[in-house]
Amino acid sequence: MASCKVALVANDPSYGRRDFLKDSVVSVAKTAQEFSKQQDVVPEQLAPRVRTDWLRPPGAVDETLFLERCTKCGDCAKVCPHGSITFHQQDGTPVIFADQMPCYLCEDVPCIAACATEALFPVGSLDQVRMGLAVVSHRICTAGQGCHACASKCPTDALSMDFNTQRMGVMTERCVGCGLCEQVCQTVNDQVAIRVTPFRLLAQSFS
């Protein structure tokens, strides 16, 4: 760029030093703007998406107390026969992503038995587990067209079809938030019409 401007100064008497400096400043400013735009875009593209729809394993105590008790030892994940329990990408605590691998509500609940600090506290029965609550989006749900896959897979019979309204309903007192409904919905439909809202988020909304 500089050599081109020197040639112009030599060949064009009307083009002086002040013009050269002005053009140079403009050129540098434009380059800086383009670099700034790239800096704004690149980190956003490279930054991993941090999900918030994770569930705690069965028997998890109140979230504040859970974070105090959990030592991130990973024992609960090691004994999970389905590989449902993974780890939060930011703090390393055990979580479950229902759309990837839901909780299968093992009869002996080995994850709770493996927890030595009572971050996962024993439950009297599986229907007392509270990981979250399933919510149906009736706008995209295909239950009215005959799809009852989620209800057929629900281990606690928390889902039932209301044939008067042609809608799938959730019995909140039975739903434990295992996520089996969410996973099966995505395997048989183009759009996932049922999602599990984590219990900790429900607790926040009522606090």
DSSP one-letter code for 48 = P
Confidence of residue 202 (pLDDT cuts 50, 70, 90): confident
Res 108: pLDDT: 94
Distance between CA atoms of residues 113 and 151, nearest Å: 29
Q: What is the pLDDT of residues 158-197, one digit of tens each?
A: 999 999 999 999 999 999 999 999 999 999 999 999 999 9
CATH assignment, 63-201 = 3.30.70.20
Q: Can you read off the two tokens belonging to residue 95?
A: 């979580």
| Residue 1 near residue 21 (C-beta atoms within 8 A) | no
How many CB atoms within 10 Å of residue 31?
A: 10
- Bridge partners (DSSP) listed for residue 160: 169
Q: What is the pLDDT of residues 38-61, one digit of tens each?
A: 544 444 455 567 888 999 999 999
The rounded radius of gyration (Å) of the Cα atoms in the chain is 28
| Residue 77 near residue 85 (C-beta atoms within 8 A) | yes
Confidence of residue 114 (pLDDT cuts 50, 70, 90): very high
Confidence of residue 92 (pLDDT cuts 50, 70, 90): very high
Give the percent of the chain with pLDDT over 70. 74
Q: Which secondary structure element, helix H or strand E, spans residue 159, and what is its range?
A: strand 159-162
Domain residue limits, the chain = 2-46, 63-201
**Taking the model in full, what pTM does it have?**
0.73
Q: Which residues contact 110 (CB under 8 A, 6 or more apart)?
A: 79, 80, 81
The predicted model gives 127-138 an average pLDDT of 95
